[in-house]
Amino acid sequence: MIPAEAGRPSLADTAGAGARPAAKPHLAVVGATGAVGRVLLGILSERADVWGEIRLIASARSAGRKLTVRGEEVEVVALSEDAFDGIDVAMFDLPDEVAAQWVPVAVSKGAVVVDNSGAFRGDPEVPLVVPEVNGCAARMRPRGIIANPNCTTLSMIVALGALHAEYGLSELVVSSYQAASGVGQAGAETLRAQLSAVSGTGLGAAPGDVRRAIGDTLGPFPAPLALNVVPWAGSLQADGWSSEELKIRDECRKILGLPELPVTATCVRVPVLTTHSMAVHARFENEVTVAGAHEILAAAPGVVLFDDPAAGEYPTPSDVVGTDPTWVGRVRRSLDDPRALELFVCGDNLRKGAALNAAQIGELVVGELRG
């Protein structure tokens, strides 16, 4: 079901079940020059080509730049109402407050929006979609918006969804190991600059040594990231929680359809460029076995089971970066609770954690027209 969007031509109108062949819908990538946008252009170039025009939209500052998608150079146009003329689907990766302003503009111009900001994820009229877990939810979008989950949630939710379907999730305790690029290109660039500043200095033996070495290159981080870990991601919320920690709780509940699920998270930034990792303690309604969990994970779409410590096999960010699946290893049953599993999960925060999931949602929308 595609809700009608008052009085304008919509995807449903232009490409419905009628007799004429469906034209390929037109896509806008909004925030095309950012860290997620660039990865998205690569992903759109790799996957089955379901799109007509791919229009690249960014801030006025970036307008006129040329980026390559599907092997062709495309000039970036400035974000404006007119930029959405003729667009069927728009994938947004902009800061929350900018998305809050411009997503409704794109919708008003007739586009279905796949939004990667946090602006709409909590809206009960906006589905929060992970195709492998709750793809059907994408069809119910009364506001014309489908939200893409946060990269941290996305780094683990495909694996958790598969286990939940079999065992029934009853509690989550997660600790994150989040990459610098989770805050965008400035994060990765800052980490590279900090690494250059500390490399070869013999640092690390006294308090504040690293802080002194990196000088004023904190970038978007609240503390040095090179040779350090920082237990903070996002903004301060009530009772000492970070926004990133609350997102994990809210988004897991919404995606899994478990509004009362106990979820507690501690989010920590680590000196990794790209790929988030999560240590997950997952308790279920039913008893679990490692063999059973292995079987579920090995069969789950979008999951790679990589779990043979005797052979040195467990996922690490440097081996996972640049790949699409969620990688799962270190599967153990809690020694004191036959209903709980421990997992270590890695996912590329720019691919499945953002751009790939958005591309998959876009393909679901296109598929509605074809189906």
Q: Which residues are catalytic?
A: 151, 276
59 touching a copy of itself, by CB under 8 A: no
Site track 264-303 with a copy of itself (rule: CB under 8 A), x = hit: x-x-x-xxxxx--x-x-x--------x-------------
139 near a copy of itself, rule: CB under 8 A: no
What's the CA angle centered on 158, arms 155 and 161, to 5 degrees?
130
- Give me 260's structure tokens: 């009362």
3-state class (DSSP) for residue 161: helix
Q: Are 266 and 176 in contact (CB under 8 A)?
A: yes
Which CB, 98 or 223, lies closer to a copy of itself? 223
Tell which positions 80-99 bind a copy of itself, by CB under 8 A.
none
182 assigned to a ligand binding site: yes
Burial group, residue 330, by CB count within 10 angstroms (0-12, 13-18, 19+): middle
DSSP 308: B
Residue 74 CA to residue 239 CA, distance in Å, equals 47
Instruction: Please count the residues of the chain.
Output: 371
Residue closer to a copy of itself by CB (options 51, 177) is: 177
Site map 148..187 versus a copy of itself, x via CB under 8 A: -----------------------x-x-x-x----------
Q: How far is the CB of 132 from a copy of itself (least distance, A)?
A: 21
Number of residues that bind a copy of itself (CB under 8 A): 76
Site for a copy of itself (CB under 8 A): which residue of 116, 150, 242, 349?
242
Alpha carbon distance 60, 277 (integer Å): 35
Q: Is 36 annotated as a binding residue?
A: yes
150 is in an annotated binding site: no
**Choices 23-31, 150-158, 295-303, 340-348; region in contact with a copy of itself by CB under 8 A:** 340-348
Which residues have a Cβ under 8 Å from the Cβ of 131 and sit 6 or more positions away?
138, 357, 360, 361, 363, 364
244 binds a copy of itself (CB under 8 A): no
Binding-site residues for phosphate sit at 121
